[in-house]
Structure 1
Amino acid sequence: MKKIYSSENSQQIAMLQNILQRAGVPVTVVERGSALELMLIQPGYEPIAKEIIREFKSNPPDPAAFMQQRSAHRQQSQSLPLWKILAQQAGIVTFIVFLAVLLTAIMQWFVAPNATISQLIFTPRGVPELSFDQPWRFVTPILLHFSATHLVFNLFWWWYLGGRIELAYNSRILAAVTLITAIVSNYFQWAASGPLFGGLSGVVYGLLGFAMVVAWKKPTHPLALPPFLLIFMVGWLLLGYTDILWVNVANQAHAVGLISGIVLGFFIRLQDGRKNSGSQRF
C-alpha cells in the first residue's frame, strides 16, 4: 500500500475517502500519531487517485452538503437489488468460478452425473497414471461437489475470500492463486486417496493462507480477517485428521492448499514491500 494523502482533519479524510471509493479507487485509512493517512491499496489506481485529490484540494466540497449527499447515496445503495450488491463485493474471476461450480453441480447431480464426474476428476476412472494429455484435470476437481452442504460451504468461503482478494489486488492475482493452489492441492490429494475426490476446499484454504500472510500484523489491510474466522478454519482443518467428523474430508487438499497459499502470500507481501519502499510520496 502507498500513502497518497495525510491530514489531521478527520472529516476531510472521511470525505476524500468516500469520494475515492465511489470512484472505484481502493483506499483505506491508517492512523499515525495525530495524523490520518489515506493508503492506496492497488498502485494501478494512482493516476486516478492523484487527479481526484488535486480536484479535492482545488475545490473542496462543503461538509454539510457532502454529508447530505452521502446520506442520500447510502439510502439509494440500500435499495439496490441483491445482485447489484453482490456485484460490488467481487470481480469477474470470482463470478466465473462461482458460476462454473454451480453449473457443474447441476450437470453432476441432475443432467449427466457419470459423464460429468469422469470428465472432471483428476485422472480417468481406473487409470492410476497422470494424464498430461488432458491438462484440465489438474484443475477441474475443484468444480466437483458431492453434497449440498459441501457446495454451499465452499461457495460461501470462495465468495468471501476470493472476492476480497480480487478487489484488494486484481483479477490476475486471484486467478494465479486459484490455479496454483488448485493444481498443488489436487495433486497431493490424488497421491493420497486416488482420483475420486472433489471440491473447492483446497483453493479456499489457499486463499485463507494468502490473506493471512499479506495482512499479517496489518489490522487495516483489506484482507485482514477476524481471529474467530482463522480459528474456525484452522480448527476445521485439524478436525479432519480425527474421527470426530461424520463426513469424508480431503485433508491433504486442505493442508497443502493452505501451505501453498501461505507461500504465495509471502511472495506478494515481499513484492508489496519493495513497491512501497521504492515509491515516491506526494
Structure 2
Amino acid sequence: MQKLLTTRNADMMKRLHSFLQRRGVPVTVSEHGNQLELWLVQSSYSALAKDLIAEFKADPEGAEAELSTSSATTAPRKNASLLQQILQQAGIVTIIYAVLVSLVFIALNTQLAMPLFENLRISDTFSDLPWQQPWRFLTPTLLHFSILHFLFNVFWWWYLGGRFERTYGSVYLLIALFSCAVFSNVMQFMVSGPYFGGLSGVVYGLFGIAVVVAWQRPRHPLYLPIGLIGFMLVWLLLGYTDLLWVNVANTAHSAGLIAGLVLGIAIRIIEHINKTKTAHGS
C-alpha cells in the first residue's frame, strides 16, 4: 500500500477516487483523524497514479470530461467484444490456469481419462504422500468430474482469482494458489484417500482472503457483498449434509478456507506495516 494524497476536502477526494478507479487504478480511501487518505493498493500502478493525480489537480473538470468522452467513444467497441471485457477481469495466471483446467476437463471426457487421472491425482496409494512426484500436491485442482463441478469452479476462480491478481499481482496469486491447493489437497487426502479432485479448495481459499482483506473496506476491489458471503458459507455447510446431489470434498473446502483466512490476515499485516512505514516516512 502506498499513500498518494491527504486532504480534508471530501468532495474532491470522492471525485478523485472515482476518476482513478475509472482509469483502472486500484485505490482505496481511509480516514485518519479529520483527514482523508488516498492509498494505492498495488505499487505497480504508482507512476500512472501520480500522473493522473497531477492531471486531475491541474484541471478536475477537464480530466473528468475527457474521461467521460473517452468512455462514450469506446463503449460500442467494448459492447461488441464481450470476450475482451471478460479477459480484462483477469491476469495472466488466472487465464493460464483456467485454460489448463478446461483442457484437462475436456481430456477427462476422452480415452485419455484414466491415464490422465492416474498421473494427476494426489497419490497412487491411500497411505503415501507424493514426495517423489511433488506436482501431485497441486494437480488434483485440475481434475473435475462433471460439467457443473467444472463450471462452478472456473467461474469462481475467474471472479475471485482475477480480482485478486489484478489487485495484488501475479506473484501473490501464485502464492495463494499453491498454498491453498497443497493444504486443501493434503487434508482431503488424509480424510478420504487419493480419489478426489477440483479447484474448490483454492476457490474457498481466495474467498477467505477476500473476506479478510476487504473486511470493513467497502471500496476495496475485493469487497464482497454480504449476500455473496452468505451464499458461499451456506454452500460450504450444505456439503456436510445429504441435501446436495453431488459428492463434495468438504475437507478440501474447509481447509482451503482456513488457508485463505490465514493468508488474508498475513496480507492485512503486510499492508499495515507498509502503511506505517509510509506514514512515518512522510
Whole-Å separation in 1 of the counterparts to 2:64 and 2:250: 56
Q: Does 1:241 align with 2:240?
A: yes
Other-structure match for 1:174: 173
Question: What's the counterpart of residue 18 of structure 1?
Answer: 19
Deviation at 1:70, TM superposition (A): 3.9
TM-score by length of 1: 0.89
1:69 equivalent in alignment to 2:69? yes
Matches within 5 A, 1:59-208: 62=62, 65-66=65-66, 68-73=68-73, 75-76=75-76, 78-124=78-124, 126=125, 128-208=127-207
Cα distance change of structure 1 residues 179 and 12 upon mapping to structure 2, 3 Å threshold: closer
Cα distance in 1 between the residues matched to 2:123 and 2:34? 59
The question of whether the paired residues in 2 share the 8 Å contact of 1:184 and 1:256 is answered with yes
CA contact (8 A) 2:55 2:63 kept: no
Q: Which amino acid aligns with 2:19?
A: N
Q: Which moved more, 1:7-16 or 1:152-161?
A: 7-16
Gap regions ≥5 residues in structure 2: none
Q: CA deviation at 1:236?
A: 1.1
- How far did 1:61 drift? 5.5
Helix, strand or coil at the partner of 1:39:
strand
Kept after mapping to 1: 8 A contact 2:42/2:168 = yes
Q: Kindly tell me: are residues 58 and 43 of structure 1, through their superposed partners in 2, closer, same or farther at Cα, counting changes over 3 Å? A: same
Partner Cα distance (1:13, 1:63) in 2: 14
Runs of at least 5 residues in structure 1 that lack an aligned partner in the other structure: none
Note the C-alpha offset of 1:52: 3.0
C-alpha displacement at 1:46, in angstroms? 2.2
Report SS of the residue matched to 2:4: strand
8 Å contact 1:92–1:171 — kept in the other structure? yes
| Amino acid across the alignment from 1:253 | A
Identity %: 46
CA distance in 2 between counterparts of 1:242 and 1:183 reads 25
Q: CA deviation at 1:239?
A: 1.2
- Tell me if structure 1 keeps the 8 A contact 2:2–2:43: yes
Confirm or deny: 8 A CA contact 1:27 1:39 kept in the other structure.
yes
TM-superposed CA distance for 1:113, in Å, is 0.6
Q: Distance in 2 between matches of 1:73 and 1:277?
A: 42
The residue type equivalent to 1:62 in the other structure is G
Superposed displacement of residue 132, structure 1:
1.1
Contact 1:91 1:163 in 2 (8 A): yes
- Checking the alignment, whether the CA contact within 8 Å between 1:209 and 1:259 is kept in structure 2 is yes
Normalised to the residue count of structure 2, the TM-score between the two structures is 0.89
The answer as to whether partners of 1:123 and 1:130 remain within 8 angstroms in 2 is yes
- The one-character-per-residue Cα deviations of 1:98-127 (angstroms, maximum 9, x if unpaired) are 001000011111240101100100012x46
Q: How many angstroms apart in 2 are the aligned matches of 1:64 and 1:112?
A: 55
Moved more, 86-95 or 7-16: 7-16
Alpha-carbon shift at residue 73 of structure 1 (Å): 3.9
Please report how far the alpha carbon of residue 245 of structure 1 lies from its aligned counterpart in structure 2 after TM superposition: 1.6
Q: Indicate the SS of the match to 1:62.
A: helix
Deviation at 1:76, TM superposition (A): 4.0
- Aligned partners of 1:20 and 1:49 also within 8 Å: no
Is the contact between residue 7 and residue 13 of structure 1 (CA under 8 Å) also seen in structure 2? no
CA–CA distance in 1 between the matches of 2:178 and 2:64? 48
Change (3 A) 1:212 1:162: same
**Alpha-carbon spacing, 1:31–1:63, altered in 2? closer, same or farther (3 Å):** farther
The DSSP-based 3-state class of the residue aligned with 2:217 is coil
- Deviation larger for 139-148 or 272-281: 272-281
Cα distance in 2 for partners of 1:67, 1:264 equals: 36
Q: 1:21 and 1:8 mapped to 2: Cα distance?
A: 20
Partners of 1:54 and 1:259 in 2: how far apart?
Answer: 42
Q: What residue number does 2:40 align with?
A: 40
